[in-house]
Chain A
Amino acid sequence: MCAAQSRKRDPIVGTSMPTLEAADKVTGATLYVGDLVVPGMAHAKVLRSPLPHARVVSIDAAEARALPGVVCVLTRDEVAAAGIEPVYGFVYRDAPLVALDKVRYQGDIVAVVVADDLATAEAALELIEVDYDELEPVMDVDAALADGAPLVHDTFSPIAPELRPVEGTNVCHRASIAWGDVEAGFREADRIYEDTFSAPPVQHCALDLHACVAAIEDGAITVWTNCQSPFPLQRELQRIFKMDARVIVPYVGGGFGSKSRDRLECVVTAAAQLAGRPVRLVLTQEETFLTFIRPAYRGTIKTGVKDDGTIVARHVRFTVDVGAYAISGARSANNTLKVATGPYRIPNALVECDAVYTNKPPSAPYRGLPTTQHTMAYETQLDRIARDLGIDPVELRMRNLVVDGDVHITGDLLRSTHAKECLEAAAAGIDWGKPSERPDKPAKLRGKGVSCTIKYTLTPPTRLSENGAEIELREDGLFEVRIGTVNIGQGSDTTMAQIAADGLGVGLDRIRVVHSDTALVPVDSSTTASRSTYHMGNAVLDAAAKLTADVLAVASQLLERDAASLALGPDGVEADDGESISYEELVRRSGGPLTALGECVVGGTYTAPDGTEYPIASTFWSFASAAAEVEVDTDTGEVRVLRMGAASNVGKAVNPDSVRTQLEGGVGMELGPTLFEQLVWDEGGQLLTAALMDYPLPTMETSPLYRPEIIEHPLEGGPFGAKGMGEIGSVITPAAVLNAVYDATGVMFHEVPLLPHKVLAALEGRK
Chain B
Amino acid sequence: MRPFEYVRPTTVGEATDFLREHGDDALVVAGGTAAVVMMTLGVLRPDYVVDVGFIPELGPELDGSRSGGAGLRLGALTTVRSIERDPAIAGAYGLLADAASQVANVRVRNRATVGGSVCYGEPQTDLPPALIAMGASATIAASTGVRTVPLAGFFEGPYETVLQAGELLTEITVPLPEPGTFGCHAKFTVGSPENKPVANASVLVRTDEAGRCVEARIVMGAVGPVPVVAEAAAALLAGEVPDAKLIAEVAARAADATDPQDDLRGPVWYKRRIAAVLVERALSCALRKAGNGTR
Residue B106 CB within 8 A of the other chain: no
User: Which residues from A are CB-within-8-Å of B87?
Assistant: none
Could you tell me if A757 and B267 are in contact, using CB atoms closer than 8 angstroms? Answer: yes
> How big is the B interface, by class?
20 to 34
Is B41 positioned at the interface, with any CB of A under 8 Å from its CB? yes
Please tell me if the beta carbons of B190 and A755 are within 8 angstroms of each other in the complex.
yes
- Chain A residues contacting B269 (CB-CB under 8 Å) are 766
Query: Contact: B264 with A680, CB < 8 Å?
Result: yes
Assess the B37–A757 pair: CB atoms within 8 A. Answer: no
A688 to B265 alpha-carbon distance, docked (Å): 12
Name B235-275 residues within 8 Å CB distance of A: 264, 266-267, 269-270, 273-274
Q: Which of B190, B264, B266 contacts A689 (CB 8 A)?
A: B264
Count how many chain A residues have C-beta atoms less than 8 Å from C-beta atoms of the other chain: 30
A701-719 CB mask vs B (1 if < 8 Å, else 0) is 1100000000000000000
- Take A122-B2, A680-B264 as given contacts and tell me if A693 and B37 are in contact as well, using a CB distance cutoff of 8 Å: yes
Separation of A688 and B262 alpha carbons in the complex (Å): 13
Residues of A within 8 A of B86 (CB): none
B264 proximity list for chain A (CB < 8 A): 680, 688-689, 694
* A-side contacts of B20, CB under 8 Å: none
Give the distance in Å from the alpha carbon of A676 to the alpha carbon of B273 in the complex: 19
Are B2 and A756 closer than 8 Å at their CB atoms?
no
Within 8 Å CB of A698, what residues of B? 191-192
- Point out the residues of chain B lying under 8 angstroms from A637, CB to CB: 270
Task: Determine the distance from Cα of A635 to Cα of B37 in the docked complex, in whole angstroms.
Answer: 33
Contact with A along B1-25 (1 / 0, CB 8 A): 1110000000000000000000000
* Nearest B residue (CB) for A126: B2
Chain A residues with Cβ below 8 Å from B92 are none
Q: Which of A119, A693, A697 is close to B2, meaning CB atoms less than 8 Å apart?
A: A119
Tell me the complex Cα distance, A286–B37, Å.
12
B228 contacts partner chain A, Cβ-Cβ < 8 Å: no
Give chain B residues whose Cβ lies under 8 Å from the Cβ of A702: 191-192
Q: Is A699 within 8 A of B37, CB to CB?
A: no
- Determine if A760 is an interface residue (Cβ-Cβ < 8 Å): yes
CB atoms of A693 and B196 under 8 A apart = yes
User: Is residue A72 within 8 Å, beta carbon to beta carbon, of the partner chain?
Assistant: no
* Distance of A694 Cα from B197 Cα, bound (Å): 11
A699/B190 contact (C-beta < 8 A), A286-B41, A689-B264, A691-B41 known: no
Q: Is A123 an interface residue (CB 8 A)?
A: yes
Contact mask for chain B residues 21-49; partner A; CB cutoff 8 A; 1 contact, 0 none: 00000000000000001001100000000
B residues less than 8 Å from A693 (CB atoms): 37, 41, 196
CA distance A676 to B198 in the complex (A): 13
How far is the CB of B239 from the nearest CB of chain A, in Å? 28
A701/B192 in contact, CB under 8 A:
yes
Interface status of B193 (Cβ within 8 A of chain A)? yes
Q: Which of B3, B190, B266 contacts A696 (CB 8 A)?
A: B190
Alpha-carbon distance between A756 and B264 when the two chains are bound, in angstroms: 12
How far does the alpha carbon of A701 sit from the alpha carbon of B191 in the complex, in Å?
A: 8
The 27 listed contacts between A and B (C-beta, < 8 Å) are A123-B2, A284-B40, A635-B277, A636-B274, A675-B191, A676-B190, A676-B191, A680-B264, A691-B41, A693-B41, A694-B196, A694-B264, A696-B191, A696-B195, A697-B191, A699-B191, A699-B194, A701-B192, A701-B193, A755-B190, A755-B266, A756-B198, A756-B266, A757-B267, A757-B270, A761-B270, A766-B269
Beyond A693-B196, A760-B270, 12 additional pairs, beta carbon < 8 A: A119-B2, A284-B40, A638-B188, A676-B190, A688-B264, A693-B41, A697-B191, A698-B191, A699-B191, A755-B266, A756-B270, A757-B266
Spell out A's residues near B (CB within 8 Å).
119, 122-123, 284, 286, 635-638, 672, 675-676, 680, 688-689, 691, 693-694, 696-699, 701-702, 755-757, 760-761, 766
